[in-house]
């Protein structure tokens, strides 16, 4: 499975650790490539666009708090990015919201916990059913606000 991944400078160490922890996935890395200060929209936007277009199946975005990357990703039509702070929320973001991008807080999530969160997120399927009608409503909102 091909996954998009991107971070800002604050998320760079965690991004690199996650790629190493999950070598079984093909990672398309949209940057950043160092801990030098940069702006998260410059990496988060193209990563989210790759997921929205289907070039990547899912994505992982990381910034200091996770909030900036969440905002950026959710501006891209078709993206449902979820900032997850533990494995339970990660599973629910997939089961109930069909989140296609996981967002992590690089400054607040230790590497071992981030690995557990990503593992739970990657191995949880969308339940569909009553949750699908909610996803359909979100898609309609996206279409209505163009």
Q: Cα 8 to the chain's mean position, in Å? A: 13
Cis before 91 (ω within 30): no
Q: How many CA atoms lie within 13 A of 88 on its CB side?
A: 0
The CA angle 56-59-64, to the nearest 5 degrees, is 150
- The strand pairing partners of 6, in sequence order, are 61
Torsion of CA 130, 131, 135, 138, to 10 degrees: 80
C-alpha separations of 30 from 34, 49, 64, 144 in Å:
12, 11, 17, 30
Residues labelled catalytic: 63, 96
């Amino acid at each position: 499975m091909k996954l998009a991944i991107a971070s800002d400078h604050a998320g760079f160490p965690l991004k690199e650790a996650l790629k190493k922890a999950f070598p079984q996935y093909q990672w398309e890395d949209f940057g950043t490539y160092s801990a030098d200060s940069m702006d998260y929209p410059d990496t988060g936007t193209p990563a989210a666009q790759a997921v929205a277009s289907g070039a990547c199946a899912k994505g992982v975005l990381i910034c200091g708090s996770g909030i900036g990357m969440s905002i950026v990703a959710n501006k891209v039509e078709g993206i449902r990015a979820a900032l997850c702070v533990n494995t339970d929320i990660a599973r629910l973001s997939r089961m109930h919201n069909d989140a296609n991008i996981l967002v992590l807080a690089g400054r607040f999530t230790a590497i071992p916990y981030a690995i557990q969160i990503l593992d739970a997120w990657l191995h949880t399927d969308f339940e569909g059913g009553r949750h699908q009608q909610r996803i359909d409503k979100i898609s309609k909102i996206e279409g209505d606000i163009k």
